[in-house]
């Protein structure tokens, strides 16, 4: 039997717009959900998805992908990789699963919105497949960690982090709610699929896979790189939407959405991905520094593709280039210092060898971040453990929900970017965070940061114990040093040597 | 801390797939050489993934990959290990094209 080539029938098969007779176009595609760009169905029919896939092809390819990922897991299940893994690597897995697994279902919901409400037939087709992709990612990233729950209580956070008020989770939810849960179909295509998935997910699902493969965790490396093969297809949903908007005179609105999403993604990755790549992953297994991965995936690949679509580099490009050398070091220092408030055990990552590596990758590290760690290390060596824990709260940004920080040392540059809106004073960690707020104040104004909640008396008693209870962190879950401070022994020995000398 | 290298990373015209490691990736490397005559194929092996790039444009043909693999291969089977790519993509029945519309 002769079978038509896909391209002989694809365009016709997915030409599924019609002229509604019983309802208006706005009733069929409410602007609030379909996108308030004032473009009729006919404009969106020009949408041409570059990465084409049909349902029968999808099923065949996905079956093959699943067979690969699940068979690697089954083959390695008895190899005790988790039991034998460095505690820093276990923390990588815990942070990853908790912050991401349940969010995949939120992404499925966002894909479903494009599937129903986009006026572009091609987008509806690709989003149908994208929605199933995200369900696959949710299922796998809940199934894979489940085998470890009985071994380590923190692994339970793969399942429950999204339901808690843990501070990093509030930050993650705030960002994901902004770009995918509360946006119209077209904005989702730009902010979630184009900005987040062609850009940042590569950092977490391929950059980290490179570290995982080096660490010998082939189950995890195989899982996350398999997930990214779905992303690389459905991430292409946004590109043609950008082209339609630009052709119809809406470049500024498209650019604004990209700039907002890229900044939010950057801040989230500075706290999630930066520390795990540059501090938790054992030194011998680090494929590249976080900054090098950022340069590879975001600067060289994503931003280059962005300008090829007809957009401009974000207005904050120079700030961003400076920050990729700095912000995540502060996020690491802060999250490590407040470690009881994490659902994983952060690795300090500051042995002399690791510091040499940090200095090489980030010239000036010892004179800046290193100075803070020197004080911390002295306290550990002296046995002043009380001094190694916080007594107060950090100041948190009202946009990214992460601590407001600067680079320590001679160039100490911490700065609050305040804004008064409707009688309330908001604080932001950067000019860009404040700019995002100003683009749509009503969208963000009602949100309370973890510190706002504390000051409003919503967290009782008003101390660390109350804060931990509010964040749903029970003893046995709350974080402490991944290696139980064993790394400090080398500093103790160095001090003894100096004394003896 | 300098930002020079970061800014420079943006100035490139490299396009092409980022493949999960495996026999398909090896076949794609060979196919990239065959299907893009006269172009240097840059291969950056990161163990979990392999960047396979050429300047400005890369064509990969189904027939070439099939021959390199030594088993039947359909163009959309590429997706099984295509975890990312640089540049824009154009999918056809018997080939795939990665490209930049603008040269830097």
N-term to C-term CA, chain A: 88
CA A310, chain centre distance (Å): 26
| Residue of chain B with shortest Cα separation from A64 | B80
- Class of domain B11-99 as given by CATH: alpha beta
Q: What is the pLDDT of residue B2?
A: 45
Measured distance CA(A111)–CA(A132) in Å, rounded:
9
Q: Count how many Cα atoms sit within 13 Å of the Cα of residue A191 in the half-sphere of its side chain.
A: 27
Mean pLDDT of chain A: 95
Predicted TM-score (pTM) of this structure: 0.96
Average confidence (pLDDT) over B59-66: 98
Q: What is the pLDDT of residue A391?
A: 82
- Asked if B83 and A206 come within 8 Å (Cβ–Cβ), the reply is yes
Among A residues 197-216, those touching chain B with beta carbons less than 8 Å apart: 202, 205-206, 209-210, 212-214
DSSP 8-state secondary structure symbol assigned to residue A486? G
Q: Is A75:A218 a contact under the CB 8 Å cutoff?
A: no
Q: What is the pLDDT of residues A193-233, one digit of tens each?
A: 999 999 899 999 999 999 999 999 999 999 999 999 999 99
Measured distance CA(A427)–CA(A416) in Å, rounded:
6
pLDDT at B79 over 50: yes
DSSP H helices, A349-430, are 352-361, 369-382
CATH of domain A55-500: 1.10.620.20
Average confidence (pLDDT) over B13-38: 97
- Give chain B positions within 8 Å (CB) of A206: 18, 48-49, 83-84
- Asked if A61 and B77 come within 8 Å (Cβ–Cβ), the reply is yes
Q: What is the pLDDT of residue B1?
A: 44
Instruction: With CA atoms as reference, report the closest residue to A261 among A309, A321, A316.
Output: A316
What are the structural domain ranges in chain A? 55-500
In this structure, the dihedral spanned by the alpha carbons of residues A139, A269, A114 and A4, taken in order and rounded to 10 degrees, is -70
| Sequence-separated (6 or more) residues with CB below 8 Å from residue A76 | A218, A219
Given pLDDT bands bounded at 50, 70 and 90, which one contains residue B15? very high
Burial bucket for residue A346 (CB in 10 Å: 0-12, 13-18, 19+): buried
Among A residues 59-98, those touching chain B with beta carbons less than 8 Å apart: 61, 64-65, 68
Q: What is the pLDDT of residues A440-461, one digit of tens each?
A: 999 999 999 999 999 999 999 9
Q: Please list the rounded mean pLDDT of every run of 10 residues in chain A (501 residues).
A: 83 91 96 94 94 93 95 89 92 96 97 98 97 97 96 96 97 97 98 94 92 92 95 96 97 98 98 97 95 95 93 96 96 96 98 98 97 97 95 91 93 91 97 98 97 95 91 94 97 92 74
Q: Does A223 touch chain B (CB under 8 A)?
A: no
Radius of gyration of chain A (CA): 24
């Amino acid at each position: 039997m002769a079978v038509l080539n896909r391209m002989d029938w694809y365009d016709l098969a997915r030409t599924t717009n019609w002229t509604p007779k019983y309802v208006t176009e706005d009733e069929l595609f409410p602007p609030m959900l379909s996108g308030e760009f004032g473009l009729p169905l006919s404009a969106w029919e020009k949408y041409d998805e570059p990465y084409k896939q049909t349902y029968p092809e999808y099923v065949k390819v996905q079956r093959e992908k699943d067979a690969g990922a699940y068979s690697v897991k089954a083959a390695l299940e008895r190899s005790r990789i988790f039991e034998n893994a460095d505690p820093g690597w276990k923390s990588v897995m815990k942070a990853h699963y908790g912050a991401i697994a349940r969010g995949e279902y939120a992404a499925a919901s966002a894909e479903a919105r494009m599937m129903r409400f986009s006026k572009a037939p091609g987008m509806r087709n690709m989003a149908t497949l994208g929605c199933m992709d995200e369900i696959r990612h949710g299922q796998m990233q809940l199934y894979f960690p489940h085998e470890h729950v009985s071994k380590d209580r923190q692994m339970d956070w793969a399942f429950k982090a999204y339901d808690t008020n843990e501070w990093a989770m509030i930050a993650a939810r705030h960002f994901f709610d902004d770009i995918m849960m509360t946006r119209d179909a077209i904005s989702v295509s730009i902010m979630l699929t184009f900005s987040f998935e062609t850009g940042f997910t590569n950092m977490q699902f391929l950059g980290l896979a490179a570290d995982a493969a080096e660490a010998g965790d082939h189950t995890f490396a195989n899982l996350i790189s398999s997930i990214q093969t779905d992303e690389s297809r459905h991430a292409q949903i946004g590109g043609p939407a950008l082209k339609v908007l630009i052709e119809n005179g809406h470049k500024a609105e498209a650019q604004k959405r990209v700039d907002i999403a890229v900044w939010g993604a950057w801040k989230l990755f500075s706290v999630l991905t930066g520390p795990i790549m540059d501090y938790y992953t054992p030194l011998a297994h680090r494929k590249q520094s976080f900054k090098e991965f950022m340069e590879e995936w975001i600067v060289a690949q994503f931003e280059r593709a962005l300008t090829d679509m007809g957009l401009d580099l974000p207005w904050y490009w120079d700030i961003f280039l400076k920050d990729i050398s700095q912000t995540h070091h502060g996020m690491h220092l802060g999250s490590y210092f407040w470690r009881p408030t994490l659902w994983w055990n952060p690795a300090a990552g500051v042995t002399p060898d690791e510091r040499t590596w940090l200095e090489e990758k980030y010239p000036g590290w010892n004179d800046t971040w290193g100075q803070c760690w020197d004080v911390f290390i002295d306290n550990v060596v002296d046995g002043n453990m009380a001094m190694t824990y916080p007594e107060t709260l950090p100041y948190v940004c009202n946009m990214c929900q992460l601590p407001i920080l600067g680079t320590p040392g001679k160039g100490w540059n911490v700065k609050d970017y305040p804004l008064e809106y409707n009688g309330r004073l908001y604080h932001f960690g950067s000019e860009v965070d404040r700019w995002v707020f100003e683009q749509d104040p009503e969208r963000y104004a009602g949100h309370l940061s973890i510190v706002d909640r504390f000051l409003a008396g919503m967290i009782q008693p008003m101390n660390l114990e109350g804060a931990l209870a509010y964040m749903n962190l029970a003893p046995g879950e709350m974080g402490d040093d991944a290696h139980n401070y064993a790394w400090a022994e080398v500093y103790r020995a160095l001090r003894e040597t100096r004394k003896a000398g | 801390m300098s930002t020079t290298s970061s800014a420079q990373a943006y100035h490139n015209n490299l396009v092409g797939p980022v493949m999960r490691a495996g026999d398909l990736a090896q076949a794609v490397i060979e196919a990239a050489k065959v299907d893009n005559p006269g172009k240097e194929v840059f291969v950056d092996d990161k163990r979990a993934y392999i960047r396979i790039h050429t300047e400005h444009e890369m064509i990969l043909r189904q027939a070439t990959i099939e021959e390199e693999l030594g088993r039947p291969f359909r163009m959309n089977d590429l997706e099984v290990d295509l975890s990312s790519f640089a540049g824009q993509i154009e999918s056809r029945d018997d080939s795939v094209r990665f490209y930049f519309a603008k040269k830097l």
